Amino acid sequence: MTDETRPADRPRSRNDRSSRAGAAGTLADRQAALVAALVAGAPLPPGFDARLVGVARSALLHKRAGEVARHWPLLAAGHGRSWRAVFAAWAAERPTSGSVRDGWDLARHLAAEEALPAPAAEELAVREAGWRYDGHTPPRRRRLPALRRAGNVLVVQFAGRVRIWTAPGSTNPKIDSASPGS
Amino acid sequence: MTTGDGVRAPEVGDGVPVPASGVPVPAGVRTPEAGYGVGIGWRPEIAGFVADLPGLRFVEVIAESIPAAGPPPGLAELRERGVTVIPHGVRLSLGGADPVEPARVRQFARAAELLDAPLASEHIAFVRAGGIEAGHLLPLPRTREAVDAVVGNVARVRAELSVPLALEPIAAIFDWPDDELDEADFLTEILDRTGALLLLDIANVYANARNRGADPLDLLDRLPLERVGYVHVAGGAASDGIYHDTHTDPVPPEVLDLVAELSARHRPPALLLERDGHYPPAATLRAELDAIAAASGYPRVT
């Protein structure tokens, strides 16, 4: 390791810098403020070009939507051309937790609002049956059997294998909230 | 295995002088045929296409995608063929004010070892701050404080990494309000203080210059081109009045012209096409590789 001082730890005078507002604070503070403005809805620190940062924010949401679509193809396909707008509206002030969890969180959010398209509900049910996800920490594979229902589709996970049945007669669009192992 | 200075025995016995690594060798040693030539970013979606490129000598893979158990099957087969694989990190956040996370550094270094890579690369950027992931490579303020942050983090990485590190300047849509250095001085200072190689993304040079109304050749003329380990070439598209380095669109002719300008000044040992989605038909991708070969004067790999 080098003997270099970690920049954020180094005391420094504010007077040795430009007095422009954008230069206030340590690099750590300023980076945190910029990231919060870009992805968490915080106000933009002074001095930045708001239009250009807005373009970057849109480009980032566009990219995130594409990455989530790779992991949740039916969630994206179920929204057709409105996918990017749906994702961006949900994600604009939510920092990413990774594409898998972002898609999961959005699918649950839409399910709670009864706005999850049927194929996406099935996709979610399959994930829910196979994995335990608390919404805060990375999903873990379930060890116990699980049953989930999405509309007229029944998803059963037993010993890691997922089976899907179509159950005529059920029209419930919501995800079954039965607890794992029930 | 590689040695600490990045030198290792040539593995491609085709009679063409092959530098042992992507590292530039002293002037006079290189021949016009030296270098890895044209490569492509290996992605699972195009593994079959990449495997079918007969003249391929090197690829790059996202370092974070390499499991501890070893490279995925398609990559392992390329390694057995003698194709060099360079791990390219995207999540270390070398420009973050906070020290790089040790677990990420270990994973990065292990990827280089698993791939028997001659060098590894990362970005001059930060991707998280204040406990929040940005989800993207973000630009640094061009300040001495930011140079210090990069230098400190590169030292932490090199303490674990057994091969040379190449640093890539990014494409940035916006700048910080309080730059103390211009791009060339900022990059040169980082390279001088870290001793790192330069991974020059020529599409980023184009994007940054175009979006700022600058001449990309001005930057090329001021960068230490003899320090270029390899070069990225990628496509992009304009929207909102901004050129975006998307990696999902065709490589524009202006970027190929810059490849030619760069190669005329100091031909890089290797150039790599980055494509990260919206994969075109194989013939289109082959044509892009051929265009890079033509612009740089390297043999076709298709």
Structural domain spans, chain B: 37-237+253-296
Who wins on pLDDT, A147 or B260?
B260
Q: CB A28 to CB B130 under 8 A?
A: yes
Domain assignment present for A180: no
Residues of A in contact with B155 (CB under 8 A): 1-2, 4
pLDDT, tens only, A88-113: 999 999 999 999 999 999 999 999 99
- Which pLDDT value is given to residue A24? 64
- Which pLDDT value is given to residue A166? 80
- Interface ipTM: 0.86
Average pLDDT over residues B147-153: 98
Domain assignment present for A152: no
- Which pLDDT value is given to residue B275? 96
- Which pLDDT value is given to residue A165? 80
Who wins on pLDDT, A7 or A95?
A95
Domain assignment present for A54: yes
- Residue of A8, A32, A52 lying closest to B174 (CB–CB): A52
Residues of A in contact with B98 (CB under 8 A): 8, 28
Question: Chain B neighbours among A 137-166 (CB < 8 Å)?
Answer: none
Average pLDDT over residues B13-26: 40
Q: Given CB atoms, is A121 within the 8 Å cutoff of chain B? A: no
- Residue B45 pLDDT more than 80? yes
Q: What share of chain A is helix, strand, coil (3-state, %, to 5)?
A: 50, 10, 40
Q: CB B134 to CB A18 under 8 A?
A: no
Residues 6+ apart with CB under 8 A from B33: B16, B17, B299
- Residue B1 pLDDT more than 90? no
Cβ atoms of residues B7 and B78 within 8 Å: no
pLDDT bin (cut points 50, 70, 90) of residue A168 is low
A133-144 burial string, b = 16+ CB within 10 Å, else e? beeeeebeebee
- Which pLDDT value is given to residue A149? 82
Average pLDDT over residues A157-174: 68
Tokens of B36: 């890895």
Domain assignment present for A46: yes
Residues of A in contact with B279 (CB under 8 A): none
For chain B, what percent of residues have pLDDT higher than 70? 89
**Integer CA distances (angstroms), B275 to A65, B272, B293, in order:** 17, 10, 16
**Average model confidence (pLDDT) for chain A?**
81
**What is the domain count for chain A?**
1
How many other C-beta atoms are found inside a 10 Å radius of the C-beta of residue B238?
13
Tell the CATH topology of B37-237+253-296. Answer: TIM Barrel (3.20.20)
- Residue A172 pLDDT more than 70? no
pLDDT, tens only, B86-108: 999 999 999 999 999 999 999 99
Minimal Cα–Cα distance from A79 to chain B, Å? 19
**Residues of B within an 8 Å Cβ radius of A:** 96-99, 126, 128-136, 138, 141, 143, 145-146, 148-149, 151-152, 155-156, 159, 173-178, 240, 242, 244, 248, 277
- Residue B228 pLDDT more than 50? yes
Residue-range definition of the domain harbouring residue A46: 26-116
Domain assignment present for A110: yes
- Residue of B133, B152, B173 lying closest to A55 (CB–CB): B173
Q: Given CB atoms, is A73 within the 8 Å cutoff of chain B? A: no
Domain assignment present for A92: yes
